[in-house]
Structure 1
Amino acid sequence: MSAGPGRAGFRARLTAPLLLGSLLNPLNTTMISTALVAIGHTFGIGAADTAWLISVLYLASAVAQPVLGKLADALGPRRVFLAGLVVVFASGLVGAVAPSFGWLIVSRLLLGIGTSAAYPAAMSVLRDEGRRVGRPAPRPMLARLSFAALGSAAVGPTLGGLLVTLVGWRGIFAVNLPLALIAFVAALIWIPVDPPRESATTGGSLRLTLDPLGIGLFSTALTVLVFFLLDLAHPMWWLLAPFAVLTAALVWWQLRRPQPFIDLRMLADNGPLARTYLRHGVSYLLIYCVMYGYTQWLEEGRGFSAADTGLLMLPMSVAALVCSLLGARTKGIRGPLALASVLLTAGAGLLLFVGGSTPLAVLLLAGACFGIPQGLIGTSNQAAVQAHAPPDSIGSAAGLQRTAQYIGAIAASSLIALAYGSRAGDSGLHLMAGASAVLGVLLIILTVTDRALRARS
């Protein structure tokens, strides 16, 4: 089928709300990094407790991304996109007026669910548009979607520091109100009404598509794992038993389902896609260790203000933005990912020697070492998912990519909590950096030995 006159497709009006919606999740994952110390002081808690504000969003997102991706494939992406923005607006209200730390947890939980709708729904919208006009979404279009996510994540610490300085940490939550409202109105006007979905015609077929038991087992197992990881200083070993039972039950159930929540058979048969998820998760474990751990150390270990910390992270933000554009123009995948993994390892090694008397130039260089990989990894792994995922399941495949990213972030918050305890000091930073350097070497090996990447380099 070919596009007729006036149906060139992929116009700016279609993509504008998709870009705005897709930046909300990555923006909120990083923007809070420069507010954690201020929140801790307000409620009298330490770094190990404020780590829950990181983990609860990632826990919600890790479950919600593939769920909402499946909903977008089954019910239509426009419906899912709009519903997610309503939840984001509600989360902003709760966080802006939260009277206690517990309400901030609720706000971040809602935020994780609401913002998780945008990316997989956007990928489904672009797939539907491609079917309408008879050609796939052009790579520059996908690059802009990736750039919106990367750019918002990169500028998050700087924007967060500015908001904390000007209006206090509640501004981190309140800023979602106008952003969600603008995106909702734009989506309502410019995203076309969803075409009919065969799987949405009956309640039975919808239940078959969603696999509620699989979702429940996955979310419960992941929650148990998070409770274990967030207190590694005093590990509750008994939690590993229910985690193992839940994981075994999840695997057994997913292998029995004709349309499982996580298609384990597809992942087992699709090695390149499974390795993409693994590589993406490890990469973002390292990136988020810096995004949260390094920023907390700059404030508590070196005594910088939230605004100064945001400015110190600006080279990382700029490097990530520039490299995301360069990565979008690169046809290969293996080269950018190999460079990114080397720089992540080098940046972690540099942090091993950072301390109270380290010159400012070295602190800036350390941030930049993590900014360049952040720009390259997002666009390259997104291209890998596009290349290897089944075309009819791109929404859920994109959701699983983000799930891998958020599991990496949960592991990062656990490592930060273990390293810092109640306060971010030099010894904790060095412990985190040493673990990150070891994982960086693993990432290099995963990248250079992947034959599927060699075929596309």
Structure 2
Amino acid sequence: MSAVRSPQLRRAASGRGAAAGFDRRLILPMVLGSILNPINSSMIAVALVPIGAAFGAPPSRTAWLVTGLYLATAIGQPVVGRLVDAHGPRRLYLLGTGLVGVAGLFGVLAPSLGWLIAARVLLGLGTSAAYPASMYLTRSEARRTGQESPGAVLTALAVANQTVAVIGPTLGGLLIGVAGWRAVFTVNLPLSLACLVLGALRLPRTGRSAAVAGVDLPGMGLFAAMLLALMAFLMDPVPRHWYLLPLLLLAGAGFAVRELRCAEPFVDLRLLAGNRPLLATYLRQLLSYTASYAFLYGFTQWLEQGRGLSAATAGLLLLPLSVSGLAVSWLTGRHPALRGKLLVGAGFQLLGCAGLLLTHGGSAGWLLAALGVLMGIPQGLNGLANQNALYRQAPAERMGSAAGLLRTFMYLGALGASAADAAFFPHGATTGGLHLLALFMAGGAVLLLVVTALDRSLSTTD
């Protein structure tokens, strides 16, 4: 036999042949890239108070550190997802993870709160690439191997993201205790480098798509304008900002008209209108993460200001949240009962809200830790269930943009939570503000229960 192998034989030898199953070399760069967003989303929770003290800024201003990242990501995820569908995952993955390193360095050197917010916006854009790229790769590998539901791979992605999201505050608190709040930006440098190396070595090369005209730039611009107007109003809903509401309506109407008339729309509204199960999944994602992020940011700020704990101690008190979320994800990850997971998750969110209403400045440490356990359970259930539902409901040819849009609804929930925190903590995280936040979260949990109970399509995906 010739010593020179064909490309097909080399692919088979490296584990990419159809008989080899899912190419396991892809899993590490997929997982590592997809955790860039949750680690930056969660570590900042314990850094808001130290950053505010460093720059003399109240919570209503430091909230823009949360809002800036999520606004950029809410826009960037579906945009990059559409580009992944058009051009393949490799180059978008490398560009995005490289930008994360640049943004991390920018945050380390930022001289003011405004520059720090700009660094968070860059982080949001950079972290927008890996998740839609990973879902695209998962779907393409499923088609190649004939394994239509690679549950183990989807579970690995979800569990990794859940794990990082819940251990982020603890890790951030420890880093701040050792090296100060800028350390939460420094971690992006080695993570970005690892993603670049693994992505360059392991992600498959794809030819440049000829369908450049399929990238709907006007639709993307109108979508961005709509979200910017919405969040600018929600973050400070005072009469002098009411002019933003007609701008929001105009951008929304223009976006709808553009997408309905465009041959290759950024968001296929006709497809969504005809796919009610997918719309319900997006709504559940929004409701799930509004409560989740409201607790993460609001409770953490209250621990530091209302209870007077250090960032490191507050991070350690959130460790039970990490443990329960991780345990639930591992135990239920491959179980197909999507409706059951979502109903149980919403139920535990309600229990957590009831617990928040019982807290006060002198609450025992065990009660605060128990709240973390309660709120970790829905974090381990809801996100995984919605991701698995989307994988079964979204068209294969739009998997990248559909996955990006799922993350957009997650970030819309985070934006809503950030706006709620700013509204209920205008001058500091007080116990009264925490109780109002708990009532807000409880309303979302009730809606999640109702939406899940009424969605008959979930029984067909169990």
TM normalised by structure 1 equals: 0.96
**Deviation string for 1:127-170 (max 9, x for gaps)?**
23333334336210111011111111111110110111111000
8 A contact 2:389–2:461 mirrored in 1: no
Structure 1 Cα separation of the partners of residues 295 and 381 of structure 2:
16
Once the two structures are superposed, the pairs formed by residues 99-138 of structure 1 within 5 Å of their partners are 99-136=111-148, 138=150
Are 2:47 and 1:42 equivalent residues in the alignment? no
CA contact (8 A) 1:10 1:137 kept: no
What is the CA deviation profile of residues 105-144 of structure 1, one whole-angstrom value per residue up to 9, with x for unaligned ones?
1110110000110000111122233333343362101110
In the alignment, which of 208, 219, 225 is matched to residue 220 of structure 1?
A: 225
**Alpha-carbon distance, 1:232 to partner:** 3.3
Q: Quick one: distance in 1 between partners of 2:398 and 2:369?
A: 41
1:206 alignment partner in structure 2: 212
In structure 1, what is the equivalent of residue 356 of structure 2?
A: 351
Paired AA for residue 299 in structure 2: Y
Question: Would you say the 8 A contact 1:282–1:443 is kept in 2?
Answer: yes
Question: C-alpha distance in 1, partners of 2:305/2:428?
Answer: 7
SS in 2 for 1:451: coil
CA contact (8 A) 1:37 1:296 kept: yes
Q: Which residue of 1 aligns with 2:420?
A: 415
Q: Report the CA distance between 1:233 and its aligned residue.
A: 6.2
Deviates more, 1:324-333 or 1:29-38: 324-333
Question: What pairs with 1:5-24 in structure 2 (closer than 5 Å)?
Answer: 6=15, 7=17, 8-24=20-36
Asked whether the equivalents of residues 324 and 378 of structure 1 are also in contact (C-alpha less than 8 Å), the reply is: no
The counterpart of 1:28, out of the listed 14, 21, 40, is 40
Distance, in Å, in 2 between the alignment partners of 1:94 and 1:331 is 43
Taking the TM superposition and a 5 Å limit, the aligned residue runs for 1:324-335 are 324-335=329-340
CA 1:148–1:357: 2 relative to 1, 3 Å: same
Alignment counterpart, residue 105 of structure 2, candidates 93, 98, 114:
93
Deviates more, 1:141-150 or 1:286-295: 141-150
CA contact (8 A) 1:47 1:422 kept: yes
Give 1:269's match in structure 2, choosing from 262, 274, 282: 274
1:66 and 2:78 are equivalent in the alignment: yes
Tell me what 2:405 maps to. Answer: 400
Residue 149 of structure 1 is matched in structure 2 by 161
Deviation at 1:448, TM superposition (A): 1.1
Give the aligned partner of residue 441 of structure 1. Answer: 446
TM superposition score normalised by structure 2: 0.94
Partner of 1:297: 302
CA contact (8 A) 1:35 1:164 kept: yes
CA contact (8 A) 1:272 1:452 kept: yes
Distance 1:335 1:78, change over 3 A: same
CA distance in 2, matches of 1:70, 1:446: 28
Following the alignment from structure 2 to structure 1, what is the Cα–Cα distance between the partners of residues 29 and 338?
A: 28
Say if 1:46 and 1:423, in contact at 8 Å, map to a contact too: yes
For 2:234 and 2:436, the matched residues in 1 are separated by: 16
Picking from 251, 258, 262, the partner of 2:256 is: 251
Report Cα offsets for 1:378-421 as digits up to 9, x if no partner: 11111100110001111111000000000011010000000000
Q: CA deviation at 1:324?
A: 1.3
Report the alpha carbon displacement of residue 4 of structure 1 after superposing the two structures with TM: 6.2
Flag structure 2 segments of 5+ consecutive residues without an equivalent.
Answer: 1-10
Larger deviation, residues 230-239 vs 103-112: 230-239
Secondary structure of 1:357's counterpart equals: coil
| Aligned partners of 1:126 and 1:137 also within 8 Å | no
Q: Is the 8 A contact 1:66 1:398 kept in 2?
A: yes
Q: How far did residue 262 of structure 1 move?
A: 1.1
The residue number in structure 2 matching 1:181 is: 193
Q: Which amino acid aligns with 1:210?
A: V
CA contact (8 A) 1:31 1:159 kept: yes
Higher mean C-alpha deviation, range 134-143 or range 14-23: 134-143
Return the letter of the residue paired with 2:287.
Answer: V
Q: Structure 2 CA distance, aligned partners of 1:345 and 1:234? A: 33
CA contact (8 A) 1:14 1:191 kept: yes
Moved more, 88-97 or 137-146: 137-146
Whole-Å Cα distance in 2 between the matches of residues 235 and 30 of structure 1? 32
Q: Distance in 1 between matches of 2:204 and 2:260?
A: 36
Q: Secondary structure at the match of 2:80?
A: helix
1:227-271 C-alpha deviation (Å, 9 max, x unpaired): 100113667222111111111111111111121111111111000
CA distance in 1, matches of 2:238, 2:218: 33
Counterpart of 1:430 (choices 431, 435, 442) is 435
Paired amino acid for 1:170: R
Mapped to 1, the partners of 2:283 and 2:143 lie a distance apart of: 30
Equivalent residue letter for 1:120: P
Deviates most, 227-236 or 161-170: 227-236
* TM-superposed deviation, 1:206: 1.1
Counterpart in the other structure of 2:8: none
Q: CA offset at residue 69 of structure 1? A: 0.7
Q: What does 1:357-368 correspond to in 2, within 5 Å?
A: 357-368=362-373
The aligned counterpart of 2:378 is 373
Query: C-alpha deviations, 1:274-324, integer Å up to 9, x for none?
Result: 000001011100000011000000000000110110011000111111111
Distance 1:136 1:83 in 2: 29
Secondary structure at 1:329 match in 2:
coil
Where does 1:300-315 land on structure 2 (aligned, <5 Å)?
300-315=305-320
| Kept in 2: contact 1:72–1:121 (CA 8 A) | yes
Higher alpha-carbon deviation: 231-240 or 181-190? 231-240
Post-superposition shift, 1:40? Answer: 0.1
Q: CA deviation at 1:361?
A: 1.2
The letter of the residue matching 1:339 is: V
Question: How many residue pairs are counted as aligned between the two chains?
Answer: 449
CA distance in 2, matches of 1:122, 1:154: 21
